[in-house]
Structure 1
Amino acid sequence: MPDKNWQFELEEYIKQGEPDRAEKSEAWQTAIGLQAVDGLNTSEYLLDTAKEHIEGKITIDEAQKRIHSYYEQRTTRTETENETKEADIVSARITKLLGEKAFQFSPAEWITVHRRLFEGVFDHAGQIRQYNITKKEWVLNGDTVIYADWNSIRETLDYDFAAEKQFSYEGLSVEAAVKHLAKFASDIWQIHPFGEGNTRATAVFMIKYMKTFGFRVNNDAFRENSWYFRNALVRANYNNLRKGVHSTTKFLELFFSNLLLGTNHELKNRYMHIDFADENTLQSINSKVSKYQFDTLDCTLEELAVLELVAKNPSIKQQEIAEQTGKSIATIKRIMKSLQDKSYIRRERGKRYGKWEVLV
């Protein structure tokens, strides 16, 4: 994202108290924040376009056309700019979807959400994957969640949605209903029906679904903790009995409570790491990390994850960081440069034989 000022600039529209502007601002904040689940940043141009839409100077359709035209004119782009293009286009589309009242609870609706978000961005937008996938996760030390076999995706989707349709919320406390919704989100995310973009599509679908229950979604949760949301989904679907790791929805429930009930639970990614011992102590291999108050730094979530890996292993290579976080090598290089520019890390004794030093 351009910098942290985008949050404050968009928040001003909510403080002004005009319902239409506030609703648009919340949608944009959610949309921009969600790009962090895939390590993407939006541009200054996107922020300027969002403000014009919030102020009523342009429609959301005109905002989308502006974003497309902006990138069509930039015929030569770096890899970073290509990632920014994806973030800008998808952010505008999320904002449009969140502003629409129409919704149908069905697998077909979820597939349509994916298609509308990623058409022209991914070749497979709105298509069920025809292959099995694995994804290395930082929170799992590079291991992967076991996703649904591609042969059974449609049947599994139909089963989960049918079970949810038959579930009765009557008599449930609000807290119990939120806990159940968290579990349903976890279950359908584990299916991972699409090649890419599953988490963002899941988030948009769930936001629209939860609004049918009368919930008012707190945009702060996705604006500030979207990477936490993804890591919580990972932990809700990962078991490694040999290492004593069990799947748990407790982290996801904390997120959903903040999202829907306005609670203020502390959401820290490091608490979800499988090497984390408890909320006060890290296991010995992470003892160095716990010395640093990284969560107080001016860091994005993806920068925080890289910073913790560097603190844990100063000899780590950028390729290893990419593998453990599931990010591209270009994204890791960008993050490392940002951390160096902020004087949070520096390289000692050259590129080939050197080590990283954490300065905070």
Structure 2
Amino acid sequence: MMNYKNTWQTDLEEYIRQGEPEQSEKSIAWKTAIGLQDVDGLKTSEYLLETAKEHIEGKIDISTAQERISNYYEVRTDRKNIENDTKEADIVSTRITQLLSEKAFQFSPAELFLIHKRLFTGVFKHAGEIRSYNISKKEWVLKGDSVFYASFESIKDTLDYDFNQEKAFSYEGLTIQKAIEHISDFTAGIWQIHPFCEGNTRTTAVFILKYLSTFGFSLSNSVFAKNSWYFRNALVRANYNNLQKGISSTTKYLNLFFENLLLNANHDLKNRYLHIDYNKNFQSATYEISKCQNDTFEKENGTLELSLEDLVIIKALKENPQITQKDLAVKVGKSERSIKRKTVLLQEKGFIKRESGKRNGKWIVLIDNSKTN
């Protein structure tokens, strides 16, 4: 039986195959919007998929789609677990779809802040506002280390500098590959500033997509839908240096992503390639490549929806069944908020379970050991 993660992509892909320009454009926008939720471990609901289909088919406009999603969660107070899992993803997906369909755009920090405000009003308390504290985030691809983000006191000045540099840059005479390399540098730079408390990657992605449209590019494929986590990890690697370990920041991964997005290239975008230890010991059984196809593992009676991120979490639970979600977040380099969502989803899918309560309980891994060892 095909799971929801696969069905939404398959269902929306059908509109692209049918070849009707308006439906294809809407479908790609929805696929991009839904796929981008994965950067924060969020999943959309089946109700959103049905709403998206009606919008793609022209039965409703995007404002009606947004209103439906809003009303859906207002009356679903009896289903708190579902609301917590999908509400943010559904609301933000409809807003991304609307923004991607609009032709209006101004290249400025103010536009970046406006996009964040439009995406996250009512979702985050400080939507559209500069963060007021310094941050660090433990990253799985960095083995728990963090990128150095801009100091909150320098955000405005740093953004102004980066935008002024980009405005002054001329793309005239550049090959498309050189232009992509420069776009990668700019994208990595504004993402490293991380001006907001939350939602930076989704905001950066929408801003860059709209910026690219001013160069005549348009969404013509589903790279973001399938590789949004790769996009974020590529941004991480573009901003991480550890010379003691022989690691330098590189935009080569981001270049590959943009070449797939803009040139319909076919680079193999696998998250494991971005891990700082990939060339050293990534052939270990934990990350067995030969069993992996599109970063999911399969079983005989259907698709076993386990991303590489899921496998890392499950491995950590097997190694320490008593681990807390806080310590698990540190170990795998994700936010505690993301880990809570992931463990709930893994329990719902029957891959793990929690035994004997929160304080003195332990995690039980139910999946076949051969899939994760």
The two structures have a TM-score, normalised by structure 2, of 0.87
1:204 equivalent in alignment to 2:206: yes
**Aligned partners of 1:346 and 1:359 also within 8 Å:** no
8 Å CA contact 2:184–2:258 kept in 1: the answer is yes
Q: Structure 1, residues 19-71: CA drift from partner, whole Å, max 9, x if none?
A: 11111111101000000000000001100100111111111001000000000
Name the CA distance, whole Å, in 2 between partners of 1:166 and 1:154: 18
User: Which of 201-210 and 127-136 deviates more?
Assistant: 127-136
1:304 equivalent to 2:312? Answer: no
**Aligned mate of 2:70, from 52, 68, 71:** 68
**SS state of the match for residue 359, structure 1?**
helix
1:326 to 328, 334, 339: 334
Paired position in structure 2 for 1:109: 111
Q: Bigger shift: 227-236 or 320-329?
A: 320-329
Alignment RMSD: 2.5
| Amino acid aligned to 1:34 | L
Q: Deviations over 1:252-294 (max 9, x none)?
A: 11111101110010011111111211xxx6358x454236523
Report which stretch shifted further, 292-301 or 242-251: 292-301
Given that residues 42 and 88 in structure 1 are in contact (C-alpha distance below 8 angstroms), is that contact kept between their aligned partners in structure 2?
yes
Name the residue aligned to 1:244: 246
In the alignment, which of 79, 83, 86 is matched to residue 85 of structure 2?
Answer: 83
> Aligned equivalents of 1:354 and 1:6: distance in 2?
30
2:249 partner amino acid? S
Letter in 2 for 1:122: F
1:187-219 CA distances to partner (integer Å, 9 max, x unpaired)?
Answer: 000000000000000000000000111113344
**Partner deviation per Cα, 1:232-268 (whole Å, 9 max, x = no partner):** 1011111112222211111111111101110010011
Q: Which letter maps to 1:212?
A: T
Looking at structure 2, the residues matched to 287 and 265 of structure 1 have their Cα atoms a distance apart, in angstroms, of: 25
1:314 is displaced (CA, Å) by 3.5
Contact conserved, 2:191 with 2:201, CA < 8 A, in 1?
yes
Residue 322 of structure 1: how far off its partner (Å): 2.4
Residue 20 of structure 1 corresponds to which residue in structure 2? 22
Determine if contact 2:136/2:148 at 8 Å carries over to the other structure. Answer: yes
Instruction: Give the match for residue 315 of structure 1.
Output: 319
> 2:51 pairs with 28, 49, 53, which one?
49
Partner of 1:266: 268
The whole-number CA distance in structure 2 between the counterparts of 1:104 and 1:37 is 25
Q: Distance in 2 between matches of 1:262 and 1:318?
A: 43
Q: Which runs of 5+ in 1 are unaligned?
A: none
Residue 282 of structure 1 corresponds to which residue in structure 2? 281
Q: 1:355 to 1:32 in 2, by over 3 A?
A: closer
Secondary structure of the structure 2 residue equivalent to 1:4: helix
Aligned partners of 1:29 and 1:219 also within 8 Å: no
Aligned residues: 351
The 2-side partners of 1:288 and 1:352 are apart by: 21
Percent of matched pairs sharing the same residue: 57
Match in the other structure for 1:215: 217
- Identify if the C-alpha distance between structure 1 residues 70 and 283 changes in structure 2 by more than 3 Å, giving closer, same or farther: closer
- Structure 2 match to 1:359: 370
2:300 is matched with none
Cα separation, 1, equivalents of 2:158 and 2:126: 20
Q: What corresponds to 2:168 in structure 1?
A: 166
Task: Return the offset for 1:141.
Answer: 1.3
Other structure's SS at 2:19 match: coil
- Counterpart Cα distance in 1 of 2:94 and 2:175: 35
Q: Structure 1 residue 352: deviation in Å? A: 4.0
Distance 1:353 1:107, change over 3 A: closer
Structure 1 residue 182: deviation in Å? Answer: 1.0
Give the Cα separation in 1 of the matches to 2:204 and 2:13.
25
Please give the alpha-carbon distance, in whole angstroms, between the structure 2 residues aligned to 1:72 and 1:47.
18
Equivalent pair of 1:179/1:253 in contact (CA under 8 Å): yes
